[in-house]
Amino acid sequence: MLIILCGLPGTGKSTLIRALAGRSPSAVLDKDAIREAVFGLAHTDYSREQDDLCGAMMLSAAGYLLRKDPGLRVYLDGRVYSRGSELRAAVQQAELAAAPWRILHCVCAEEEVRRRLEEQSGHPARNRNFDLYLRLKASFEPITLEHLTIDTGLPLEDCLVKAARYLGIPENR
């Protein structure tokens, strides 16, 4: 199954994925880690073109993993998926691999996002801040595909129960 995590920076996508991935056979593909590995600090520019290139690499790797191991849950992290075209491309990759897909949309209160972004340390995306959050929020397209919205301002365990149910992951793992 391909699991697409979408949501603005600071809404808890990576935290949720790390907790979910340990509950079933999984692979986590992180756009920020891919960008760092491919471009390094010297050539990272955070442009739309570079984001799209890293997103395409992530989708290619997801397709490979899904074809190689159909029982695997492949999580896509590090991309906001603010445009319908980005979500459709991910869904298309799942369908090409004959794999089911799910979209988890992470949201939380703006005050919580600001706090998280101000307190972050060591995140590979050096452009992550509250101004980026506001810019992306202004252009975030409505999600028209089937999805589950999770308020990550709630306790993590509550979010995990809700997400696990949606993804068909046994809760007793």
Strands ordered across the beta sheet of 148-151 = 26-30, 73-77, 2-6, 101-107, 148-151
Residue 172 lies in a domain: no
Residue 110 lies in a domain: yes
CATH code of 135's domain: 3.40.50.300
Residue 173 lies in a domain: no
Residue 143 lies in a domain: yes
Residue 122 lies in a domain: yes
Lowest-pLDDT choice from 7-11, 42-46, 164-168: 42-46
Q: d(Cα 133, Cα 137) in Å, to the nearest integer?
A: 6
Confidence check: pLDDT of 15 > 80 = yes
Structural domain range at position 33: 2-167
Q: d(Cα 36, Cα 60) in Å, to the nearest integer?
A: 17
pTM above 0.85, yes or no: yes
Tell whether the torsion through CA atoms of 94, 148, 109 and 118 is positive or negative.
Answer: negative
Q: Strand 101-107 vs strand 148-151: parallel, antiparallel, or unpaired?
A: parallel
Could you read off the pLDDT of 73-110 as tens digits, one per residue? 999 998 899 999 999 999 999 999 999 999 999 999 99
DSSP letters, 87-149, are HHHHHHHHHHTT--EEEEEEE--HHHHHHHHHH--S-S-TT-SHHHHHHHHHHPPPP-SS-EE
The tally of domains found in the chain comes to 1
